[in-house]
Amino acid sequence: MATAEPRIPLRGALCRLLLTLAVFSFACEGCEKVTFNIPSELEADKIVGRVNLKECLRSADLIQSGDPDFRVLDDGSVYTASNVVLSDENRSFTIWLSDTKTQTQKKIKVLLEHQKKVLRKRDTKEAILRRSKRRWAPIPCSMQENSLGPFPLFLQQVQSDAAQNYTIFYSISGRGVDQEPLNLFFIEKDTGNLYCTRPVDREEYDVFDLIAYASTADGYSADLPLPLPIRVEDENDNHPIFTEAIYNFEIPESSRVGTTVGVVCATDRDEPDTMHTRLKYSILEQTPRSPGIFAVHPSTGVITITSHYLDRESVEKYSLTMKVQDMDGQFFGLMSTSTCMITVKDSNDNAPTFKQNTYEASVEENAYNVEILRIPVEDKDLINTANWRANFTILKGNENGHFKISTDKETNEGVLWVVKPLNYEENHQVILEIGANNEAPFTRDVALRVATMNRALVTVHVRDQDEGPECSPAAQYVRIKENSALGSKVNGYKAYDPETRSSNGLRYKKLHDPKGWITVNEISGSITTSKILDREAMTPRNDLYNITVLAIDQDGRSCTGTLVVNIEDMNDNPPEILQSYLTVCKPKMKYTDISAVDPDEPIHGAPFYFSLANTSPEMNRIWTLTKVNDTAARLSYQKNAEFQEYSVPITVKDREGQSTTKTLRINLCDCTHPSQCLAARRSAGVILGKWAILAILLGIALLFSVLLTLVCGVVGAKKKKGFPEDLAQQNLIISNTEAPGDDKVCSGNGFMTQTVNNSGQGFCSTMGSGVKNGGQETIEMVKGGHQTLESCRGTGHHHTLDSCRGGPAEVDNCRYTYSEWHNFTQPRLGEDSIRGHTG
C-alpha cells in the first residue's frame, strides 16, 4: 500500500515488503534479541528496521552500534551507514544502551537474516486467494495544531500494492478513531484518503498512533497492518505562567551588591525545547522607582541586589512587577506578569544617641537603692529588637560602686540608681560618664564608621542630712598584755559626729563581751580590765578578742562598732609532755620517742630541752635521753635492763626556762608488738590481797556462828515442841553496813518480822539476798517455812503474824544447810579478793 506512485520493479517491491515484515517481526521480539529479514544487498542510509529502546532501557542517554556498517537513531531506527552485502545467510551485531547517570548498561542482539522470496501472481482460475506479503509504506504525516480547516482536512493517501491486482478496502483504528477522542480521523474505504474532522490541541494530544488495514471484499487481509503515526505540530498558543501570583522575599539591609534575593520561575505548556518555550525574565517596574536596587537574570529568574542604597529606615518594602515572555523575549512572543514583594530586614546600622550631652541629678546622702535619673536615647533601628534596645555603661566616676545603670525595656531609657550610700562630708557631687550601645553588634560598615560609643556626662549632687554618730572604721584595734593587772586602762572605741567630726557628747555601751573581761567607760569609751586576760583560755585560741560597742548621741541615734583587743602573749605556760604510759618491746624496740607542746606563742615555745629529773643512779644507768628535734626526744634503755614497769620522771623546758616534770610509766616488755603486753596484762591471774584474806576469815567465823545457832535450835526442839517466848523473838541478822535501813529478820517460828518501819512488802523465802545500801553491802539470811514471795507480799503498810503464815511452823524451818551457806558466801569472797588486789 502506498500513496499514488508509479509502478516500481519487482525487486524493489520485494525489498520493501521484507523491511515491513522485519519491523513487525521485531514488535514481537524481546529486548535481548531482535531479528531483521533483509535483502542480500542494501544501499547506504537505508532503513533496516526499528528497535523499541524504551522497553529495554527507558533512561538510556547513550546509544552505540557494535557494527560500524549500521547506525541507530534515538527513536530506535536502524540505518545502514554504508553499502551492505550479505555474503552469508546470517549476520549479527549488538546495540549498546547506557545510562551514564546511574551507570547502567544493556545490550540488544540484532540478527540479520537473508531471505529470497518471490511473489507469484495467482492463476485467475484458482478459487482460493492466498495472502501475499506486499509492500505498503506510509509517508511521515503531521498536522498543524489548532488548524482552521477547511474540515474534513485531507492529510494523506494510503495505498497497498495489492490494489494493482485486487479490489482493496482500507480502514484505520486507534486513538482518534475508535478511542478517545472518537471520530477525529477517518479514511475513505475505497481510495485510502485520510482526513481529520476538527482542530486538535497539541497540549492534549501530541501524537496519534493509528493502524491502517488493507483487506479484500471477503475480509481477507491483503497486507499486514501498517502503523500510521500522525504528529501534531506545535503552535505558540500558550502563555508562560509564573508559579506564584505573588512572591515574597526578605533581605537584610546590610546585604552587599550581588546578594541573591530570591528566584522567580514560570512554566509554558507548549512543546519543550522549542522557541515556544524559551523564556526570558525581566523587571517591568520597581516601586518605589528610585533608586534602582534590583536586577533579574533573564534566563534563570534569579533576583539580585545591584546597589548599596538598601536602607530599611528609608524604604522598608519594595514591589517588583516581573515579566516573562516566550520566543526568547522577542516582541511577538507571549508574556505574563507577576508581583514580587521584597521586605528589607533590619540590621544594626544605627547607633543609639543621647538627646543631650549633659544631665544633672541629686540625691540625699545615706540613701541607697533609689532611682535618681532617666536618660533617653534615640535609635532609628526597628523598635523592640536587639538592634534598637540600648545597653548603658558607667565608663567613669563609679570607682567606689555607689551607682548602677539599667535599661527600661519599655522606653529604652537608661535608669540611674544609687546602690551604695553617699557621704556628703566626703563628696558634695559626683560626675559620671555614661556610654550606650545596642544589644546586637553593629554591622561591619557601621562598626568601621562608629569607632567609639556615644557618651554623656551626668553630675550627681549630694544633699546634706543631719546624721547620727558614725562608727568608722567599723573595727578599731587596741593592745593589752596577757595577765595584766585588774583595772588596767586602755583607750577604747571612738565614734564621731559626721557633721562636727568630734566625739563630744557621745555615750558608749558594751553590747557583747564573750568572757566578761572588759568594762567600757560610758563617757570616754576607754576600756578597763575586769578580769585577768588569758590568751590560752579563748576558744578557738586566737590573739584577737572582739568586743561589740554601741555609740549613742544626744538624740538617741546610734551606731555599732567592734573593738578588737589584741592580747599580747606572755610566757605563762610551761611545755607539756603528751605521753603518760608507754610500752617498749625488748629487744625489737631499742627506744621510744616522747614529744611536748606549749600553748604559748612560738616565740615562748620550742626548742624544748628534755632531761631525766632527780633520778637515782640506777635510773640514770638504765635510761638515757637524746634530742630528736625541737619538740621531741628519744628515750633509750640499756641492754641489761630487766623486764618490768619503770616510772621515769622527765623534765621539759621551753626556750625561756619555763619547765615542768612528768613521770612516765614505761613497760619494758618481752614482746614483738606493744599490743601483746597489754593483752597479757589484762589476762593475768587474780592475786589475793589482804582484804580478800580478811573477808575469807570473816566468812568462816560467820559460818561457825550459824552452825552453833542451829545446833542450839535442834536441842531445844527435842526438849519442847513449842517455842519459848524468848526464842520467838530472837532474830538472826548478819550485816556489814553502818547505814540505817529496814532490818528484816526471820523469827524462830519461820515468819517475817519488820523491826524498823512497816514497808509495803513482807519477804519470806528460803534464801536471803544481798542489798546495796549506801555503798555498803548488807547480807540478810532468812529461813522461812513453805511460804513464797507472793504469799508473803502484802498490799498495805501493816502486817500481822497471820498474814505471813503458810501452815504449821516447825523448828527445822530455820535451819540452813552447809551448801546454802557455801553458795551464798563463795561469790562474795571472790569479789572481795579481786577488789583487794586492785587496791
Question: What would the 3-class secondary structure string for 206-220 be?
Answer: CEEEEEEEEECCCCC
Question: Residue 418: which residues within 8 A CB-CB, separation 6 or more?
Answer: 363, 367, 368, 369, 370, 372, 402, 403, 460
**Amino acid type, 481:** K
Residue with cell 560598615: 445
Cell of 765: 523465802
User: DSSP secondary structure string, 378-433?
Assistant: E--SPTTSTTT-EEEEEEES-TT--EEEEE-TTT--EEEEE-S---TTT-SEEEEE
DSSP character for 12?
H
Do 359 and 276 belong to one domain? no
In degrees and rounded to multiples of 5, residue 240 shows phi and psi of -65, 145
**CB of 343 within 8 A of CB of 261?**
no
- Single pTM value for the model: 0.43
HSE (CB half, 13 Å, CA atoms) of 779?
Answer: 12
Q: Tell me the per-residue pLDDT of 184-225, one tens digit each, with 9 for 90 and over.
A: 999 999 999 999 999 999 999 999 999 999 888 877 787 888
Q: Do the domain assignments include residue 312?
A: yes
* Number of domain units in the chain: 6
CA separation for the pair 69, 81 (Å, rounded): 5
Do 359 and 407 belong to one domain? yes
Lowest mean pLDDT among 366-370, 478-482, 668-672: 478-482
Mean local confidence (pLDDT), 499-511: 83
Task: Return the SS3 of 275.
Answer: helix
Mean local confidence (pLDDT), 173-193: 92
CA separation for the pair 63, 74 (Å, rounded): 7
Cβ neighbours around 769 below 10 Å, total: 12
pLDDT confidence of residue 396:
93
Do 252 and 166 belong to one domain? no
**CB of 543 within 8 A of CB of 569?**
yes
Could you check whether the bond before residue 473 is cis, i.e. omega within 30 degrees of 0? yes
Do 337 and 252 belong to one domain? yes
Q: Do the domain assignments include residue 150?
A: yes
| pLDDT range class, residue 718, cuts 50, 70, 90 | low
Of 513, 545, 568, the residue that ends a domain is 568
Q: Do the domain assignments include residue 423?
A: yes
**CB of 323 within 8 A of CB of 282?**
yes
Do 386 and 405 belong to one domain? yes
| pLDDT range class, residue 182, cuts 50, 70, 90 | very high
Is a pLDDT exceeding 60 seen at residue 4? no
In percent, the amount of the chain with pLDDT more than 70 equals 74
**CB of 467 within 8 A of CB of 499?**
yes
Mean local confidence (pLDDT), 77-105: 82
Do 526 and 437 belong to one domain? no
CA separation for the pair 837, 187 (Å, rounded): 150
623: exposed, middle or buried (Cβ count in 10 Å: 0-12, 13-18, 19+): buried
Angle at 755 between CA 726 and CA 734, to 5 degrees: 80
Could you check whether the bond before residue 152 is cis, i.e. omega within 30 degrees of 0? yes
Angle at 217 between CA 215 and CA 222, to 5 degrees: 25
In percent, the amount of the chain with pLDDT more than 90 equals 28
Cell of 186: 477517518
pLDDT confidence of residue 762:
37
Do 265 and 340 belong to one domain? yes
CA separation for the pair 137, 213 (Å, rounded): 12
Is a pLDDT exceeding 80 seen at residue 787? no
Q: Do the domain assignments include residue 433?
A: yes
| pLDDT range class, residue 742, cuts 50, 70, 90 | very low
Nearest by Cα to 414 from 366, 462, 363, 379: 379
Q: Do the domain assignments include residue 300?
A: yes
**CB of 284 within 8 A of CB of 322?**
yes
Do 248 and 312 belong to one domain? yes
Do 247 and 333 belong to one domain? yes
CA separation for the pair 141, 153 (Å, rounded): 13
Lowest mean pLDDT among 20-34, 348-362, 610-624: 20-34
Do 221 and 182 belong to one domain? yes
Task: Return the SS3 of 578.
Answer: coil
pLDDT confidence of residue 534:
75
Q: Do the domain assignments include residue 361?
A: yes
| pLDDT range class, residue 35, cuts 50, 70, 90 | confident
Task: Return the SS3 of 245.
Answer: coil
Task: Return the SS3 of 668.
Answer: strand
Beta bridge partner(s), residue 94: 109
pLDDT confidence of residue 733:
39
DSSP character for 154?
E
Do 285 and 196 belong to one domain? no
Between 779 and 229, residue with greater pLDDT: 229
In degrees and rounded to multiples of 5, residue 348 shows phi and psi of -80, 75
Q: Tell me the per-residue pLDDT of 252-276, one tens digit each, with 9 for 90 and over.
A: 988 889 999 999 999 999 999 999 9
Lowest mean pLDDT among 39-53, 122-136, 465-479, 596-610: 122-136
Output the CA torsion sign for 379, 384, 387, 390: positive
Do 628 and 660 belong to one domain? yes
pLDDT confidence of residue 798:
39
Nearest by Cα to 373 from 356, 350, 386, 389: 356
Nearest by Cα to 311 from 441, 221, 175, 446: 446
Is a pLDDT exceeding 60 seen at residue 790? no
Q: Do the domain assignments include residue 333?
A: yes
HSE (CB half, 13 Å, CA atoms) of 23?
Answer: 20
Domain range for residue 613? 576-669
Cβ neighbours around 457 below 10 Å, total: 16
Of 568, 598, 618, the residue that ends a domain is 568
pLDDT confidence of residue 739:
39
User: DSSP secondary structure string, 513-532?
Assistant: -TTS-EEE-TTT--EEE-S-
pLDDT confidence of residue 656:
83
What integer best gives the mean pLDDT of the chain? 76
Q: How many residues does the chain have?
A: 839
Q: Do the domain assignments include residue 764?
A: no
| pLDDT range class, residue 782, cuts 50, 70, 90 | very low
Cβ neighbours around 238 below 10 Å, total: 19
Mean local confidence (pLDDT), 613-631: 84
CA separation for the pair 398, 627 (Å, rounded): 62
Is a pLDDT exceeding 90 seen at residue 757? no
Residue with cell 615555745: 605
DSSP character for 589?
-
Output the CA torsion sign for 806, 812, 814, 817: negative
What are the angstrom distances between the C-alpha of 326 and each of 246, 281, 297? 20, 9, 15
Cell of 41: 544487498
Output the CA torsion sign for 115, 121, 126, 132: positive
Cell of 200: 486538535
Cβ neighbours around 792 below 10 Å, total: 21
CA separation for the pair 746, 146 (Å, rounded): 150
Lowest mean pLDDT among 156-170, 285-299, 467-481, 535-549: 535-549
pLDDT confidence of residue 345:
92
Of 233, 252, 283, the residue that ends a domain is 233
Mean local confidence (pLDDT), 792-801: 38
pLDDT confidence of residue 765:
36
Q: What is the CATH number of the domain that holds 425?
A: 2.60.40.60
